[in-house]
Structure 1
Amino acid sequence: MSQFDIMNLVYLVALLVLAAFSLSPMFRANFWKTIQQFMIWALIFVGVVVVVGSWDNIRSAALPPQVSYSEDGTIEIPKSYDGHFYVTALVNGAKIDFVVDTGASDLVLSQKDAITAGLDVENLDFYGRAMTANGEVRTAPVRLDSVALGAFDDKNVRARVNGGDLDISLLGMSYLNRYPTITMTRNQLTLSR
């Protein structure tokens, strides 16, 4: 709803209150009680409008979209409410959440996720460099024993551990290139082998 629409709504409500006040003798007799009841109904109306307008976001947050794995090896990843594609993979047997990032060259683990996957982050050599939206970060190259996504279990996967602050690990092109067909539609990313 634009600022202009909101101002029009306020104007119409004020006009309606003025008309009701001038036409109703009962309204004039119980002025403050009527105003109180009107404000309660107005808040209920505004609450309903907000819930209806935000319903898709509320539903997406409460019930996040589920990734589906088909028998023919197709992985369908629905778009999340924030516009990204999220998937959970098993890295060295540990569940790791990823955002699918076609702008990332490599599969990149956050330090927290690297520890979860059994990597010794303290002894990694962060000599690599990567340019991100937040500037340059140091990276450490690693080899993962396995990355399993659905029916696919890839061995000896090249990856990097991010030396900076990374909230969620990135499923980048070095991993995505293992899928000959990558299709992106408005609301879904499909990977197939």
Structure 2
Amino acid sequence: MSTMEYGNLAYLVLLGAVLVFWFFVQNRQSLNKTLQQGALWGLIFLGTVAAVGLWGDIRQTVHPQQMVMTDAGRIEVPRGPDGHYYLTLDINETPVRFVVDTGATSMVLTQADAARVGLDDEDMIFYSEAMTANGVVRTAPVRLDDVALGPFHDRNVRAFVNEGEMTKSLLGMEYLNRFARLEIANGRLVLER
């Protein structure tokens, strides 16, 4: 913590102590009731802290798992709450979350994801174009050394890096066609090799 953060912490502790002291002085005739109210507020505070601290676990319980391995050679992915299917692929041993886009031809990485997997910005040349719902965007073709989805590994996979703004990387049909079976039914995406 920096000096300024220690100062802020000391100020908040002092302010809290003054407020608690004032509260007890104002309610000294009914000390028992004051203690009950203080305990109630303390429990509310602790409950809020616990909910914030456990939010990731709570969200994972409410939000279905990303990927479920059922049998050898089979991957099932539940539909997300927003109606899309998401897959997390390990690209060069770095996890990247993709939205499955059967309307996209290729695998398209955001610039941030490309940097995370070790693609150097200076080596990319944005000379190709892609037609999107937002119009034409420039892309840079790249080769990914290692792409893994669960037990399935592919080498030297062709992909593109989008020069425009994208919130998530897209997983198009070129990659999905590597699977012998692709089925979307009953809120699940099933991939088999």
Structure 1, residues 67-115: CA drift from partner, whole Å, max 9, x if none?
1013321110110010000111100110100001111100110000000
- Amino acid of the structure 2 residue aligned with 1:79: R
- Amino acid of the structure 1 residue aligned with 2:98: F
Structure 2 partner of 1:70 = 70
Q: Check 1:112–1:77 CA distance in 2 against 1; reply closer, same or farther (3 A cut).
A: same
Q: TM-score, normalised by structure 1?
A: 0.67
Whole-angstrom CA distance in 2 between matches of 1:185 and 1:165: 31
Structure 2 partner of 1:32 = none
Displaced runs of 4+ in structure 1, greater than 6 A? 59-62
SS of match in other structure, 1:160? strand
Q: Is the 8 A contact 1:100 1:172 kept in 2?
A: yes
Whole-angstrom CA distance in 1 between matches of 2:164 and 2:102: 20
- For residues 1-193 of structure 1, what are the structure 2 equivalents within 5 Å? 63-66=62-65, 67-193=67-193
Q: Is the 8 A contact 1:60 1:81 kept in 2?
A: no
Whole-angstrom CA distance in 1 between matches of 2:170 and 2:162: 10
Q: Is the 8 A contact 1:75 1:190 kept in 2?
A: yes
- Amino acid of the structure 2 residue aligned with 1:141: P
- Amino acid of the structure 2 residue aligned with 1:63: V
SS of match in other structure, 1:104? coil
Q: Please, what is the CA RMSD of the aligned residues?
A: 1.5
SS of match in other structure, 1:113? helix
Whole-angstrom CA distance in 2 between matches of 1:166 and 1:122: 20
Whole-angstrom CA distance in 2 between matches of 1:120 and 1:95: 17
User: How many residue pairs align between the two structures?
Assistant: 135
**1:135 Cα deviation after fit:** 0.7
Whole-angstrom CA distance in 2 between matches of 1:123 and 1:145: 15
SS of match in other structure, 1:87? strand
Whole-angstrom CA distance in 2 between matches of 1:69 and 1:124: 35
Whole-angstrom CA distance in 1 between matches of 2:112 and 2:87: 17
**1:174 Cα deviation after fit:** 0.9
Q: TM-score, normalised by structure 2?
A: 0.67
Q: Is the 8 A contact 1:99 1:170 kept in 2?
A: yes
SS of match in other structure, 1:174? helix
SS of match in other structure, 1:72? coil
Q: Share of identical aligned residues, percent?
A: 52
SS of match in other structure, 1:96? strand
Whole-angstrom CA distance in 2 between matches of 1:70 and 1:148: 17
User: Which segments of 5 or more consecutive residues in structure 2 lack a partner in the other structure?
Assistant: 1-57
Q: Check 1:137–1:131 CA distance in 2 against 1; reply closer, same or farther (3 A cut).
A: same
SS of match in other structure, 2:190? strand
Structure 1, residues 128-154: CA drift from partner, whole Å, max 9, x if none?
100101111000000000110011011
Structure 1 partner of 2:23 = none
**1:62 Cα deviation after fit:** 6.2
User: Which segments of 5 or more consecutive residues in structure 1 lack a partner in the other structure?
Assistant: 1-58
